[in-house]
Amino acid sequence: MKSAEEEHYNYASSNINSSLPLSVAHPSLSAPCHGLQTSNPVISIVPSTNHPSGYGGHAESGTAGYYLSPNVRPNGVPALESPRIEITSYLGLHHNNNQFFHDPEIEEPVPNAKRSPTTATLNLPNIEAYRDPSCLSPASSLSSRSCNSEASSYESNYSYPYTSPQTSPWQSPCVSPKTTDTEEAYQRSMVTCTLLNSPRHSPSASPRTSITEENWLSTRNSRPSSPCNKRKYSLNGRQTSYSPHPSPTPSPQTSPRVSVTDETWLGNTNQYTSSAIVAAINALTTDSTIDMNDGIPTKSRRTAIDHTQSMTLKTEPSGEDHGTISPTADLSPEEFPGFQHIRKGSFCDQYLSVPQHPYPWAKTKPLSPSSYMSPSLPALDWQLPSHSGPYELRIEVQPKSHHRAHYETEGSRGAVKASAGGHPVVQLHGYLESEPLTLQLFIGTADDRLLRPHAFYQVHRITGKTVSTTSHETILSNTKVLEIPLLPENNMRAIIDCAGILKLRNSDIELRKGETDIGRKNTRVRLVFRVHIPQPNGRTLSLQVASNPIECSQRSAQELPLVEKQSADSYHVMGGKKMILNGHNFLQDSKVIFVEKAPDGHHVWEMEAKTDKELCKPTSLVIEIPPFRNQRITSPVQVNFYVCNGKRKRSQYQLFTYLPANVPVIKTEPTDDYEPAQTCGPRNQGLSPLSKPYYSQQIMMPPDPGSCLVTGFTSCQQRNAVMSSSPSSSPKLHDLSSPAYKCITNPGHSHLGLQQTVGGVPAIQEVPRSIVVHPSSPDQSSHIMLQPQVSQHLSSSCSLGYQQTLYPNSPSSPVPSVTQEPTYLQSCSPTRSSVMGQQQLPNVQRNESPANQPLPLPELHEDSNHNLAPIPVTIKREREELDQLYLDDVNEIIRNDLSSTNVHS
């Protein structure tokens, strides 16, 4: 049910998005900045293409708007009111000066003592920063939220929060609005720079996105105890909770999440997208200052608060920008040369300025590049490829799938460990220079949406005798970033034994101004690693890779079944083959359900696989692959399956592909996979985790397309993969799925997409499919990455695309806004697909689902219904499913919220 709803939402959002501007990215803008990164073409492309209209206008105006008047949004939407406005203003003020000052003000009111009073200095307590900021003033929060909310509501109406994000045109706008102009401004600037930061948040950039953080900052403070703040998850919550409770501080604010959620999402997403574009544009203009204010404020506050500590304040030149900086400030310039700059926004400056490497070790490349980086450093929510040219950032040893995060009220629960013992290991391949580089690590999301900083979790630096790796902690946009030296003498390899995970109270975060995400059941994270490699041309190449998902909830880790490996990724439609699943929390009465999803997420087909209870172990399950509903498919059909231990205890969707009867079975990857899969740290997991698809990076790894296709990917994590995978094959399918994804994903991601785009961008739109489909070549990988980006774009745009596509198929959302291009969609899908490997799959989409839904897919449909089957595809659905699963949990919540919200409205 929910899923359906969710889906709908997504769709909607997509549509919305489409309408909006997301696209945003103006080539022009992007080009400059991003170029560095990779290919940026994308960016440009995007913008134009997609959304030209909406965004274009908005963007520009928006930007302008932003800069000019904070209140007004780009879109014309009124700025959010109060909350934001206020903030904005402050920001603005601040801008000029430094955020710091302002921040303090803002924050202070609120609360928390924690924050450092002084503004200027900034060193706020880091920790607090996260929350507190928000807490701070309710007002702020309100504003932000309200803004958001409003905005969002606005948006949300359209779609769903979730959705929106991605798509949302708003994103930027939205975000910005609330967030304040500043941020946007920042972003923009950033964008301009490169996209870097991306989304709106860029400012915040980092993580969570800016939005969040910023918002947080602004809002926040509240962190107070949860109770008060907490909002209800339900969107409605907005209303509810907030105010009332408010506990102390913060909260009251507003609606917390709600707005956030919806709005935020939208905002975020959109913002990102659009914002990115805009930003780029703006960036050109430069306004970093402005941005700073806006963006900064929020973030800064937070950041500042939080991290300030580490950071030295701003030191940097950029600092100005940052004034806001604070947050960023986080980083000390030195340390994060790039970062800081980046955030701040002044691109030029940043670029120009060389980064200094504060860290001894770090020194990241002194190169100018770094400097570049900084300016351009992509926002944390941007999607980046894991490899490019000769370079590849790879997770050699994946972290365990479970790691109980600690609350601030608790002591550290130690560093994240590898499944096989030891710690995760990350290595940069292809780097032959003698200059050490800095590996950045932050906690990212693990849901369907695009990868971005996780609002509810922060990396926690572990020190002590047992820690062999030096690290430095900085804050970027409300996101804590651990900087670890990558030394040539160590083969650019780092053992990550210094990273723990801190859980922030949901109530604290949700109250943040820009935060749209819901914390409830949003307990999975990924370790995200980034490295910025200076290039001869002065540019900086940024690579990113995300780990397999890590479940951080004590409860979830103990109860939810988790599939880490599967012995087969595909098999004939007749089924009958035994498949071994490796993972955790399997019970004798665990059920394994195969499902075929329609683009809209509806389950077209569900079949419980036979399980061998005698062979069932907590970490492994032996099942018999059930026959597919349609024995006559002509092309591979992707489906999903999950392990269910009870009502709310089911694993994420895993991908599986049914092959036409006469086709030789392709890969089953038998055992390998499973073997120890679980543990396997090494395993594939890394590759495919959910996100991967999006990211591509991960995927990338697999060099071979072929190989990828099947096995490796598959098992992997399908879940995510699934989603992704599906796409792979057929574009169409993808599309469908995409939508979902998008929805889910959100905005933030979109931004990412942009970034990616950067790299490959333009292509992306166009290309996607191919890319997706074929992962094989290295380049592909890149592509892939791009894809992700693309996807994102897609998302944004895609959303449209999805919608379109999807719609057709799915009933749910028919909306559609846009129409679009399947292409995009495809692209999108591909991205996802990448995961799969799909190899081929492209296939068909089988029918998928027509059954379920409407099926309208134009192309696809065949119906799935059953039987005919011929159509291959499937993919799409899967993704959706996956997403759905994931989303479900998270999204459900969101949906609910949204629903509420809507209702309220």
Residues making contact with DNA (CB under 7 A): 225-227, 230-234, 237, 241, 404, 406-415, 462, 464, 503, 505-507, 519-523, 553-556, 558-559, 646-648, 892-893, 896
Taking the least distance from each CB to DNA, the nearer of 236 and 805 is: 236
Residues 72/77/78/84 CA torsion (nearest 10 deg): -70
CB of 247 to DNA, least distance (A): 9
Q: What amino acid occupies position 797?
A: S
Taking the least distance from each CB to DNA, the nearer of 531 and 563 is: 563
**Three-state SS at 54:** helix
Taking the least distance from each CB to DNA, the nearer of 407 and 615 is: 407
Q: What amino acid occupies position 62?
A: G
What is the C-alpha to C-alpha distance for residues 675 and 654, in angstroms, rounded to an integer?
17
Taking the least distance from each CB to DNA, the nearer of 298 and 506 is: 506
Taking the least distance from each CB to DNA, the nearer of 257 and 472 is: 257
What are the φ/ψ torsions at residue 769 (nearest 5 degrees)?
Answer: -50, -65
Query: Which bin fits 837, alpha (ψ -120 to 50), beta or left (φ > 0)?
Result: left
Taking the least distance from each CB to DNA, the nearer of 412 and 867 is: 412
CB of 226 to DNA, least distance (A): 5
CB of 897 to DNA, least distance (A): 7
Tokens matching residue 204: 């915040």
Provide the β-strand partners of residue 650. 644
**Three-state SS at 412:** coil
Taking the least distance from each CB to DNA, the nearer of 364 and 507 is: 507
- Report DSSP state, residue 502: E
Taking the least distance from each CB to DNA, the nearer of 225 and 440 is: 225
Do 153 and 248 touch, CB atoms closer than 8 A? no
Taking the least distance from each CB to DNA, the nearer of 326 and 900 is: 900
Tokens matching residue 176: 């910005």
Taking the least distance from each CB to DNA, the nearer of 765 and 900 is: 900
What is the C-alpha to C-alpha distance for residues 161 and 810, in angstroms, rounded to an integer?
19
CB of 113 to DNA, least distance (A): 16
Which residues have CB under 8 Å from 381's CB, separation 6+? 197, 198, 199, 201, 202, 205, 206, 207, 208, 209, 210, 268, 272, 450, 451, 452, 453, 748, 749, 751, 752
Taking the least distance from each CB to DNA, the nearer of 82 and 261 is: 261
* Residue recorded with tokens 């990924």: 526
Four-residue CA torsion sign, 610, 613, 618, 624: negative
Taking the least distance from each CB to DNA, the nearer of 414 and 618 is: 414
CB of 536 to DNA, least distance (A): 42
Taking the least distance from each CB to DNA, the nearer of 445 and 507 is: 507
What is the C-alpha to C-alpha distance for residues 426 and 98, in angstroms, rounded to an integer?
37
CB of 886 to DNA, least distance (A): 13
Closest-CA residue to 566 (of 594, 545, 598):
594
**What's CA 366's distance to the chain center, in Å?**
29
CB of 405 to DNA, least distance (A): 9
- Please count the CA atoms within 13 angstroms of the CA of 637 that sit on its side-chain side: 45
Q: Could you write out the DSSP letters of every residue in 532-575?
A: EEE-TTS-EEEEEEE---EE--HHHHHHS-EEEEES-SEEETT-
Q: Could you write out the DSSP letters of every residue in 588-625?
A: TT-EEEEEEE-TTS-EEEEEEEEE-GGG-BTTEEEEEP
CB of 642 to DNA, least distance (A): 15
| Kind of pairing between the strands at 479-486 and 540-546 | unpaired
CB of 497 to DNA, least distance (A): 11
CB of 652 to DNA, least distance (A): 14
Residues in the chain: 905
- Please count the CA atoms within 13 angstroms of the CA of 810 that sit on its side-chain side: 41
CB of 496 to DNA, least distance (A): 14
Taking the least distance from each CB to DNA, the nearer of 4 and 325 is: 4
Closest-CA residue to 577 (of 699, 522, 653, 659):
659
CB of 894 to DNA, least distance (A): 10
Tokens matching residue 508: 């604290």
Tokens matching residue 501: 């995970």
Instruction: Return the biggest CA–CA distance within the chain.
Output: 72
Distance separating the N- and C-terminal Cα atoms of the chain? 22
* Residue recorded with tokens 């598959």: 714
CB of 248 to DNA, least distance (A): 12
Taking the least distance from each CB to DNA, the nearer of 247 and 809 is: 247
CB of 645 to DNA, least distance (A): 10
CB of 517 to DNA, least distance (A): 12
Q: Could you write out the DSSP letters of every residue in 447-483?
A: SSS---B-TTEEEEE--STT--S--EEEEETTEEEEE
- Number of Cβ atoms within 10 Å of the Cβ of 292: 42
Taking the least distance from each CB to DNA, the nearer of 50 and 234 is: 234
CB of 686 to DNA, least distance (A): 22
Taking the least distance from each CB to DNA, the nearer of 135 and 716 is: 135
CB of 411 to DNA, least distance (A): 4
Taking the least distance from each CB to DNA, the nearer of 454 and 530 is: 454
CA-to-CA separations, 443 to 208, 489, 538, in angstroms, rounded: 9, 27, 29
What is the C-alpha to C-alpha distance for residues 817 and 153, in angstroms, rounded to an integer?
18
Q: What amino acid occupies position 169?
A: P
Q: CA Rg, the chain, in Å?
A: 23
Closest-CA residue to 382 (of 543, 510, 492):
543
CB of 850 to DNA, least distance (A): 29
- Report DSSP state, residue 774: -
What are the φ/ψ torsions at residue 780 (nearest 5 degrees)?
Answer: -50, -50
